[in-house]
Amino acid sequence: MRVPYLDYHTAGESHGPALITLIQGMPAGVELDMDLINGELLRRQGGYGRGGRMRIETDTAEFLGGVRNGVTIGSPIAVRIANKDSRLDDADKTPPVHRPRPGHADLAGSVKWLTTDCRGTLERASARETAARTVAGAIARCLLRDLDMTVFGFVRSVESAIWDGAVNAGNLDAMRSARDASEVYCPDEPTSKAMIACIRAAKENKDTAGGLVEAHVFNCPIGLGSSVDWREKLDARLAYAVMGVQAFKSVEIGLGKDVAGLPGSKVHDPIEFNAGNRETPSLGFSRPSNNAGGLEGGMTNGSPIVVRGAMKPIATLLQGLPSVNLNTKQPEQSDYERSDVCAVSAASVVVENVVAFEVARAALSKFGGDSLLETRQNYDAFLEKASMLPLEPPSGTIA
């Protein structure tokens, strides 16, 4: 029996030999854009505020299975990213950690796995693992591209430096260029400078900084995801994927938590129809606002998907934080492990890619197909039928 949907797993520790990504359910015939995949890995390594580790590594995807001459063949895709700073089995170079860092997985993990050494926990909990997830998402984007969908992620804020500009299909290319010119992956130059100032101040104070990242998905057909089962609701899947990224503490879709303070008339996006756009993935339906963030009833509604996540400041502070030695139970400052001051820029790349994976999963769940050709044909057939609504009613139903 064929695994019914697109899925992935990752393995590997921060200082183990490598990170591994295993993807199943990808149709055959998807051309993998190695520049895109390795470009996303490079972007994930960057961003102002990153620590010394990123100067050691050169994250590159090595394909071990599922791909022939750069094209998927329908079998599981296995990818390896080598860790140059591999030293997990050397106890001198990866010493035990007995003073858990507040905010990190250290305390809960060491108790969970019945040890007073947090090392095993922190090695896997490290955000280094997000390189493996970035690969999964970047591969999924190659499929999305074949279905005409585009994903764009950026940094919305770092501490008090917030950009309040808008990204839309019309300015997407300009926003992408501006983001790529920014050291903090924010499309606005003055805000980027303010963000850098916040990160610099945090570093001087031996502190760390968090922020908001956003991912937008353009040109989604109406009807990805489902309202019939909570596990298939695309907004729920997106929240799961983003909350699963290290250090994320909240996820919002569209207007997010602000919906709670507004009347329905100010929240819900009116529905309009323009027959001239009937042949597009939104089938001619348009919305003058996008408070829903492109999702209603757990399904895409033809507007861009808008997902926002809040990343807490990194838990490893140069100054340490009040903690307890797990062996003596005496109060001590938490251990210091080499770390970033701010990884919000890197997280925006991770979020962009995990969001892409969920949209690709929803697209395959709707259109299926063992080969891209089949998937694309199913997609086109759906759009054609949907653009012709109302169809002749099947017997027993009312149009």
- Told to check if 340 binds ligand EPS by CB under 6 A, we report yes
Closest approach, Cβ 18 to ligand EPS, in A, equals: 13
Closest approach, Cβ 131 to ligand EPS, in A, equals: 6
CB 122 within 8 A of CB 20: no
Distance CA 313, CA 262 (A): 30
- Told to check if 135 binds ligand EPS by CB under 6 A, we report no
CB 61 within 8 A of CB 353: no
Binding mask 285-324 for ligand EPS (x = CB under 6 A): -----------------------------x----------
Q: In the set 126, 208, 291, 301, which binds ligand EPS (CB under 6 A)?
A: 126
- Told to check if 85 binds ligand EPS by CB under 6 A, we report yes
Q: Which H or E element spans position 26? A: none
Q: In the set 10, 47, 53, 295, which binds ligand EPS (CB under 6 A)?
A: 53
CB 366 within 8 A of CB 359: no
Closest approach, Cβ 126 to ligand EPS, in A, equals: 3
Residue 85 or 183: which CB sits closer to ligand EPS?
A: 85
DSSP conformation letters of 38-99: HHHHHHHH-STT--THHHH-----EEEESEETTEE-SSPEEEEEE-SS--TT-TTTS----S
Closest approach, Cβ 327 to ligand EPS, in A, equals: 22
| Residue of this chain nearest to ligand EPS (CB atom) | 126
- Told to check if 339 binds ligand EPS by CB under 6 A, we report yes
- Told to check if 119 binds ligand EPS by CB under 6 A, we report no
- Told to check if 51 binds ligand EPS by CB under 6 A, we report yes
- Told to check if 183 binds ligand EPS by CB under 6 A, we report no
Residue 9 or 338: which CB sits closer to ligand EPS?
A: 338
DSSP conformation letters of 299-322: EE-SSPEEEEEEEPPPS--TT--E
CB 326 within 8 A of CB 110: yes
Give the interface segment with ligand EPS, choosing from 197-205, 260-268, 334-342, 370-378 (CB under 6 A): 334-342
Closest of 301, 21, 294, 33 to residue 146, by C-alpha: 33
Closest approach, Cβ 144 to ligand EPS, in A, equals: 24
- Told to check if 353 binds ligand EPS by CB under 6 A, we report no
**Cβ-count burial 202-239 (b if 16+ within 10 Å, e if not):** bbeeebbbbbbbbbbbbebbbbbbbeeeeebbbbbbbb
For strands 299-300 and 295-296, give the pairing: antiparallel
The two most distant CA atoms of the chain are separated, in Å, by 76
Closest approach, Cβ 377 to ligand EPS, in A, equals: 39
Quote the tokens at residue 133: 């997830």
Which CA distances in Å does 128 have to 20, 47, 104, 245, 341? 11, 15, 14, 11, 15
Residue 238 or 343: which CB sits closer to ligand EPS?
A: 343
Q: In the set 338, 377, 380, 384, which binds ligand EPS (CB under 6 A)?
A: 338
Binding site for ligand EPS (CB under 6 A): 14, 51, 53, 85, 126-128, 130-131, 246, 314, 337-340, 343, 346
